[in-house]
């Protein structure tokens, strides 16, 4: 890679300069090709320890990091909250001290609280990768989404991307907004006013409450997961009302460009935010490719951060 | 006790506007005399102030202490040490401790523990509601007889309108007032930062700034209804201050205070999830900070309180939304206020008035004056001497200063409580 990644950790997309984003995507692209060819590169992380520290359940992201680490030759250990001492009252920083004692090199953290990986990063010697923190960021998801878009559309610049649904609680939306605006895409957020965060426009996006106008001439339609708790908290009255007005079906999608692609970070709530007919339409849905790119992007991130470890050693 | 003459001082008495070089004589715990050309009586100890400022000891309208109930955060002895280093000689203590101060015996306990320090008078608030739980009003009469200065549920808002109405109405009968934490509870529930662009970027649950104005508006209406006196604590928004200003113009019994974080910091202090800057109410937008400064200057705000809330490392070394709100404020109260003087927003006498005479008058205390016969509660400070706030090196046990790393000008050199030197020297 022409530009060495400048940071010790990957905690957020916000603040990451466009050339480094492009560099990571280029590297991930080469890993995507390598993965398709069936070859592996097991020497890069040989002797390195990668710990997946997941305080929230996640099958997709954890498995993706596990696969990425193993393809690069790392020793991968999964720690989930249910089986760790965290559930016995150990604090986040006690956990950090334990991980330090184990000489972990790369630490992948998912946590329900915004800022938790940043707090850990202050206390551990490992390079920390944020695998989703609260409603803050999910940087590798934004990178894999960008790679998927770039492969399908050939570019990011100038594209119109509509991010739809529960923007307020979405770390995926925040990371995507930061990445796509940094790369000069036009970003719209679409959802009911109760699920749009305060001052969203200040993040450089256009805000829509109506799907048809929000999706008009969009190149990319990115759906988000709506969690059932949002209905319980009264933010939207019911899932059927949500689906009627903000769920993606063929009729609403018709407002987008004819070749618009449909994305979803998973897991999907079929019939809540997306109609199965759309989710399963191979002509529109790139959801499977997102998962494939996830492994490639995480390999690229592990690659650049491990090179930083060498530089700091 | 031997007489003490503090000579060669700049005497500052905000109540009378005195700002003149001179000396001050302490005899039997009171101010015996003050003025220019005062000579030391025979046998008196002389302290050379070398031109430094001598003012009434600070009257801090609002502080939570770790004792009783959270002595791992702070004891009364350690709080007294921090107060003395900050020039505070009278400290009004919030009742939402563990147990809450809702019983006359507990009021007397806090007062006695203060007396035992010998350096600071502790004046407890009584709980406004039993257990500070917000439901039934507490025994205002009995608590007042025991020494409670006024009534509040501390950091908890009295959310129920009927309870607040009864509290204001009942307090009026005893000639006292109710202090409100002005934050509409259902809007504030679960929030960690002021709602807006920064909270959105950090992915933190927001509290709209309007939560403050809404409760202020309601309680002003209840003050009008009952004829009671409501005092709003740590007011932090332009919208709430505008309503308080209008209520005062209307002649209602409405007063308020603010705290140094709200005129010295804005919400950007929480950037990168800095939990020491997590406060309640949360730090606000810069425009609100400026409105607080303007309200200090025009007199809308009646007092500056430390709003001290001791927290230990375990309370703060957590993800932001889970970390405890609150900042240590005793040792920095004077110097952060002086920053507004250095910035030209307040005169020195205005600033001291907000820290001494005005809060004392609100509470009907003889403190906060440089006058013959007044208690010799004094602070000697250098208005320009530079120092840097460093969490971990502050006096007292609580180190959770939101001003960590802040360079300040203005240093306390000495503090006297009832004529006895309790800091410096």
Per residue in A22-59, pLDDT tens? Answer: 999 999 999 999 999 988 788 999 999 999 999 988 88
- Interface probe for B, chosen from A133, A169, A198 (most Cβ of B below 10 Å), is A198
Contact A135 B204 (CB under 8 A): yes
What is the CATH number for B381?
2.30.40.10
Q: Look at residue B397 and tell me if it is in a domain.
A: no
Burial of A39 from C-beta contacts in 10 A (0-12 / 13-18 / 19+): exposed
User: At B404, which helix (H) or strand (E)?
Assistant: none
Shared domain for B336 and B190, answered yes or no, is yes
> How far is residue B392's CA from residue B385's CA, in Å, rounded to a whole number?
21
B318 at A interface, C-beta within 8 A: yes
Radius of gyration of chain B (CA): 21
pLDDT on residue A49: 96
Residue B110: closest CA among B177, B63, B153: B63
B313 at A interface, C-beta within 8 A: no
Per residue in B320-338, pLDDT tens? Answer: 999 999 999 999 999 999 9
Quickly list H helices, chain A: 18-37, 60-71, 92-101, 116-123, 139-153, 171-182, 211-215, 228-232, 239-246, 250-253, 276-279, 287-312
Which positions in chain A touch B203 (Cβ < 8 Å)? Answer: 114-115, 133-137, 171, 174
Residue B54: phi, psi to the nearest 5? -120, 120
- Interface probe for B, chosen from A89, A91, A114 (most Cβ of B below 10 Å), is A114
pLDDT on residue B88: 98
Contact B319 A111 (CB under 8 A): yes
Which positions in chain B touch A171 (Cβ < 8 Å)? Answer: 203
Query: What is the mean predicted confidence (pLDDT) over A143-169?
Result: 98
Q: Is the pLDDT of residue A1 over 70?
A: no
Number of domains in chain B: 2
Query: What is the mean predicted confidence (pLDDT) over B301-330?
Result: 96
Quickly list H helices, B20-103: 76-85
Contact A119 B208 (CB under 8 A): no
Q: Is the pLDDT of residue A204 over 50?
A: yes
User: At B256, which helix (H) or strand (E)?
Assistant: strand B254-258
Specify the DSSP class assigned to residue B132.
Answer: G
Per residue in B28-42, pLDDT tens? Answer: 999 999 999 899 999
Distance to chain A for B273, nearest Cα, Å: 6
Which positions in chain A touch B205 (Cβ < 8 Å)? Answer: 135
Burial of A22 from C-beta contacts in 10 A (0-12 / 13-18 / 19+): middle
A235 at B interface, C-beta within 8 A: no
In chain A, whose CA is at the least distance from the CA of B315?
A: A91
> How far is residue A218's CA from residue A261's CA, in Å, rounded to a whole number?
9
Among candidates B203, B206, B317 on the partner chain, residue whose Cβ is nearest the Cβ of A198: B206
Which positions in chain A touch B272 (Cβ < 8 Å)? Answer: 118
B205 at A interface, C-beta within 8 A: yes
Specify the DSSP class assigned to residue B375.
Answer: B
Instruction: Please enumerate in sequence order all residues whose Cβ is within 8 A of that of B177, keeping only pairs 6 or more positions apart, or say none.
Output: B150, B151, B171, B228, B229, B230, B231, B253, B255
Do B219 and B164 touch, CB atoms closer than 8 A?
yes
| Binding region of A for L-aspartate | 88, 171, 225
Q: What is the pTM of this model?
A: 0.94
Q: Look at residue B370 and tell me if it is in a domain.
A: no
A199 at B interface, C-beta within 8 A: yes
Contact B202 A133 (CB under 8 A): no
Contact B196 A135 (CB under 8 A): no
B197 at A interface, C-beta within 8 A: yes
User: What is the CA A83 to chain-centroid distance, rounded?
Assistant: 25
Shared domain for B47 and B80, answered yes or no, is no
Q: Is the pLDDT of residue B425 over 80?
A: no
Q: Is the pLDDT of residue A233 over 70?
A: yes
Shared domain for B355 and B380, answered yes or no, is no
Q: Look at residue B369 and tell me if it is in a domain.
A: no
Question: What domain range is B382 assigned to?
Answer: 4-53+375-388+406-423
> How far is residue A116's CA from residue A111's CA, in Å, rounded to a whole number?
6
Shared domain for B102 and B211, answered yes or no, is yes
Burial of B107 from C-beta contacts in 10 A (0-12 / 13-18 / 19+): buried
3-state percent helix, strand, coil for chain B, nearest multiple of 5: 35, 25, 40
Q: Look at residue B399 and tell me if it is in a domain.
A: no
Do B244 and B296 touch, CB atoms closer than 8 A?
no
Specify the DSSP class assigned to residue A87.
Answer: G
Shared domain for B288 and B339, answered yes or no, is yes
| Binding region of A for carbamoyl phosphate | 60-61, 110, 138, 141, 266-267
pLDDT-derived band at A313, boundaries 50, 70, 90: low
Q: Look at residue B286 and tell me if it is in a domain.
A: yes
Shared domain for B379 and B340, answered yes or no, is no
Residue B193: phi, psi to the nearest 5? -155, 165
- B111 is written with which tokens? 């007062």
- Percentage of chain B modeled with pLDDT above 70: 100
Shared domain for B297 and B415, answered yes or no, is no
- Interface probe for A, chosen from B190, B194, B197, B200 (most Cβ of A below 10 Å), is B200
Q: Look at residue B210 and tell me if it is in a domain.
A: yes
Q: Is the peptide bond before B68 cis (omega within 30 degrees of 0)?
A: yes
Contact B317 A137 (CB under 8 A): no
Which positions in chain A touch B196 (Cβ < 8 Å)? Answer: 198-199
A9 at B interface, C-beta within 8 A: no
> How far is residue B281's CA from residue A111's CA, in Å, rounded to a whole number?
26
Per residue in B114-136, pLDDT tens? Answer: 999 999 999 999 999 999 999 99
User: What is the CA B310 to chain-centroid distance, rounded?
Assistant: 13
Shared domain for B172 and B215, answered yes or no, is yes
Distances (CA, A) of B54 to B32, B383, B414: 15, 10, 9
> How far is residue B350's CA from residue B298's CA, in Å, rounded to a whole number?
10
Per residue in B360-370, pLDDT tens? Answer: 999 999 999 99
Q: Look at residue B396 and tell me if it is in a domain.
A: no
Q: Is the pLDDT of residue B372 over 80?
A: yes
Per residue in A52-108, pLDDT tens? Answer: 999 988 889 999 999 999 999 999 999 877 555 555 567 888 888 888 898 999 999
Average pLDDT score over chain A? 93
> How far is residue B320's CA from residue B341's CA, in Å, rounded to a whole number?
33
Residue B65: closest CA among B146, B130, B122, B150: B122
A114 at B interface, C-beta within 8 A: yes
What is the CATH number for B242?
3.20.20.140
The Cβ of residue A85 has, within 10 Å, a number of other Cβ atoms equal to 12
Do B417 and B118 touch, CB atoms closer than 8 A?
yes
Residue A69: closest CA among A293, A302, A228: A302
Distance to chain B for A200, nearest Cα, Å: 7
B314 at A interface, C-beta within 8 A: yes
Contact A91 B196 (CB under 8 A): no
Q: Is the peptide bond before B281 cis (omega within 30 degrees of 0)?
A: yes
Shared domain for B36 and B91, answered yes or no, is no
Contact A203 B197 (CB under 8 A): yes
Shared domain for B273 and B357, answered yes or no, is yes
Residue B168: closest CA among B180, B182, B157: B180
Which residue numbers of B are catalytic?
307
Shared domain for B285 and B204, answered yes or no, is yes
Q: Look at residue B324 and tell me if it is in a domain.
A: yes
B254 at A interface, C-beta within 8 A: no
Shared domain for B155 and B289, answered yes or no, is yes
In this predicted structure, which of A221-230, A280-289, B335-344 has the lowest mean pLDDT? A221-230
């Amino acid at each position: 890679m022409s530009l060495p990644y400048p940071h010790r950790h990957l905690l957020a997309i916000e603040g990451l300069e466009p050339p480094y984003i492009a560099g990571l995507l280029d590297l991930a692209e080469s890993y995507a090709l390598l993965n398709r060819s069936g070859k592996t590169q097991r020497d890069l992380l040989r002797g390195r320890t990668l710990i997946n520290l997941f305080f929230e359940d996640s099958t997709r992201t954890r498995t993706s990091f596990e696969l990425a680490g193993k393809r690069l030759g790392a020793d991968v250990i999964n720690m989930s909250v249910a089986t760790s001492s965290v559930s016995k009252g150990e604090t986040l920083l006690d956990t950090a001290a334990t991980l330090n004692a184990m000489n972990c090199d790369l630490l992948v953290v998912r946590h329900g609280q915004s800022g938790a990986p940043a707090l850990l990063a202050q206390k551990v010697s490992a390079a920390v990768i944020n695998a989703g923190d609260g409603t803050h960021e999910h940087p590798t998801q934004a990178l894999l989404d960008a790679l998927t878009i770039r492969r399908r559309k050939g570019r990011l610049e100038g594209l119109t991307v509509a991010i739809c649904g529960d923007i307020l609680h979405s770390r995926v939306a925040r990371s995507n907004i930061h990445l796509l605006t940094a790369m000069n895409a036009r970003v719209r957020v679409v959802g009911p006013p109760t699920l749009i965060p305060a001052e969203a426009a200040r993040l450089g996006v256009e805000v829509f409450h109506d799907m048809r106008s929000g999706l008009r001439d969009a190149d990319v339609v990115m759906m988000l997961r709506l969690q059932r708790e949002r209905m319980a908290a009264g933010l939207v009255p019911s899932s059927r009302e949500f689906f009627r007005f903000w769920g993606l079906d063929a009729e609403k999608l018709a407002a987008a460009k004819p070749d618009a692609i449909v994305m979803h970070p998973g897991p999907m709530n079929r019939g809540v935010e997306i109609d199965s007919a759309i989710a399963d339409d191979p002509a529109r849905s790139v959801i499977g490719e997102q998962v494939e790119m996830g492994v490639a992007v995480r390999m690229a991130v592990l690659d650049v951060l491990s090179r930083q470890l060498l530089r700091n050693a | 006790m031997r007489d003490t003459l503090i000579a060669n001082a700049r005497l500052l008495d905000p109540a009378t506007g005195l700002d003149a070089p001179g000396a001050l004589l302490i005899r039997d715990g009171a101010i015996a005399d003050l003025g220019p050309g005062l000579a030391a009586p025979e046998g008196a100890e002389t302290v050379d102030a070398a031109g430094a400022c001598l003012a009434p000891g600070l009257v801090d309208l609002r502080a939570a202490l770790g004792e009783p109930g959270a002595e791992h955060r702070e004891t009364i002895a350690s709080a007294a040490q921090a107060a003395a280093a900050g020039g505070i000689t009278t400290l009004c203590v919030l009742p939402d401790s563990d147990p809450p101060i809702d019983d006359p015996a507990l009021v007397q306990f806090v007062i006695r523990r203060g007396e035992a320090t010998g350096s600071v008078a502790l004046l407890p608030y009584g709980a406004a509601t039993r257990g500070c739980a917000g439901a039934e009003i507490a025994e205002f009469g009995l608590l007042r007889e025991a020494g409670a200065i006024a009534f509040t549920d501390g950091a908890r808002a009295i959310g129920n309108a009927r309870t607040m109405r009864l509290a204001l109405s009942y307090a009026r009968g005893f000639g006292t007032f109710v202090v409100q934490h002005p934050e509409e509870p259902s809007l504030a529930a679960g929030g960690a930062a002021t709602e807006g662009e920064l909270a959105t970027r950090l992915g933190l649950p927001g509290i709209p700034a309007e939560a403050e104005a809404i409760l202020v508006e309601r309680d002003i209406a209840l003050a009008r209804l009952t004829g009671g006196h409501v005092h709003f604590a740590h007011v932090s928004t332009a919208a709430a201050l505008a309503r308080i200003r209008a209520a005062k113009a209307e002649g209602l019994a409405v007063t308020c205070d603010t705290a140094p974080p709200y005129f010295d910091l804005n919400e950007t202090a929480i950037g990168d999830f800095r939990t020491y800057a997590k406060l309640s109410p949360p730090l606000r937008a810069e425009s609100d900070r400026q409105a607080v400064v303007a309200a200090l200057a025009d007199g809308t705000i009646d007092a500056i309180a430390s709003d001290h809330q001791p927290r230990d490392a375990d309370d703060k070394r957590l993800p932001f939304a889970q970390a405890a709100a609150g900042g240590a404020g005793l040792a920095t109260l004077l110097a952060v206020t002086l920053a507004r003087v250095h910035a030209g927003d307040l005169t020195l006498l205005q600033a001291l008035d907000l820290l001494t005479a005005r809060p004392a008058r609100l509470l009907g205390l003889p403190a906060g004056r440089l006058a013959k016969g007044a208690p010799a509660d004094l602070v000697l400070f250098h208005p320009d001497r530079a120092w840097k706030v460093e969490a971990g090196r502050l006096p007292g046990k609580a180190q959770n200063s939101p001003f960590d790393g802040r360079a300040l000008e203005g240093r306390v050199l000495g503090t006297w409580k009832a004529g006895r030197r309790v800091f410096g020297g």
